Amino acid sequence: MLERLAATVITVFARLVTGMRTNWQGCKPEPVQRIYFANHSSHGDFVLLWTSLPPALRAITRPVAGADYWLQSAARRFIGERVFRAVAIPRGGGAQQANDLMCAALDAGASLIVFPEGTRNTTEDILLPFRSGLYWLAKARPEVECVPVWIANISRVLPKGEFLPIPLLCTLTFGAPIKVGADEDKNAFIERARNALLALAPHDNGE
């Protein structure tokens, strides 16, 4: 009950602040199991991505995030554990443990939201190099499709170090799903995934 209310408040707030527009460019919002991977430049990222999904998909989609972030306060713990049902990854636990936790969530039927840059991008670059986590996950569960999602403008709504969001319009563009090839190596897949995500970025609005 309280979870539903909190979810409603969060999604309505996110929509109001960001005038969010969702552009299903390369796939449809179908109830199939997916790994959504997106660019990461703000704490608001997975709130937006989660909000942009239709309620039925939202109910089966869990964001993956560092455990320390979610344990900082009671409110965050409630939102992280109960509302988003985040898959919490302990810091310093190693790549194998992270992959096992994500695979367990997938095996339980969930879709995942991951940020393969591994950290928030606060640089001038449009997208940081990917870590290898997405490859190991896709390799471990090759039947699950990976959907690139470009989140435009959220870094301007709430830049790192600011506390007051400004209500600029954000657009989320969902690209065509990709899967890891049978004999594709790590670097090739990571390169392909990163390019698929970059292809969704708007060209005109950059520095």
Partner 1 sequence: MTAQEQTLALFGGIGGLLVIASAVGFVLARRAKGESPGIANLNARIKAWWVMVALIGVAFIFGKTGLIVLFALASFLALREFLTLMRTRRGDHIAIAGAFFVVLPAQYVLIGIDWYGLYSIFIPVYAFLVMPIVAALRGDTRHFLTRIAEVQWGLMVSVFCVSHVPALMTLQIPGYEGRHLLLIAFLVLVVQSSDVLQYVWGKLFGRHKIAPLLSPSKTVEGFVGGVLSASALGAALWWITPFSPLHAFGIALLVNLMGFFGGLVMSAIKRDLGVKDWGHMIEGHGGMLDRLDSVIFAAPIFFHVVRYWWTV
Report the nearest approach of partner 1 to the CB of residue 68 (Å): 25
Closer to partner 1 by CB, 58 or 156: give it.
156
As a whole number of angstroms, the distance between CA 32 and CA 90 comes to: 28
Residue 89 phi/psi, 5-degree rounding, is: -105, 120
Closer to partner 1 by CB, 146 or 172: give it.
172
Report the nearest approach of partner 1 to the CB of residue 52 (Å): 15
How many CB atoms are closer than 10 A to CB 1? 5
Report the nearest approach of partner 1 to the CB of residue 204 (Å): 4
Closer to partner 1 by CB, 98 or 170: give it.
170
* Residues found near partner 1 in the complex (CB under 8 A): 19, 21, 153, 156, 159, 162, 164, 166-169, 204-205, 207
- Is the Cβ–Cβ distance between 2 and 10 less than 8 Å? no
Closer to partner 1 by CB, 153 or 173: give it.
153
Report the nearest approach of partner 1 to the CB of residue 55 (Å): 22
Closer to partner 1 by CB, 21 or 186: give it.
21
Contacts of 156 (CB under 8 A, 6+ apart): 166, 168
Strands of the sheet with 111-114, listed across from one edge: 21-24, 171-174, 145-152, 34-38, 111-114, 61-66, 87-89
Contacts of 163 (CB under 8 A, 6+ apart): none
Report the nearest approach of partner 1 to the CB of residue 206 (Å): 8
Report the nearest approach of partner 1 to the CB of residue 44 (Å): 14
Strands annotated E in the chain: 21-24, 34-38, 61-66, 87-89, 111-114, 145-152, 171-174
SS3 assignment, position 134: helix
Closer to partner 1 by CB, 73 or 205: give it.
205
SS3 assignment, position 64: strand
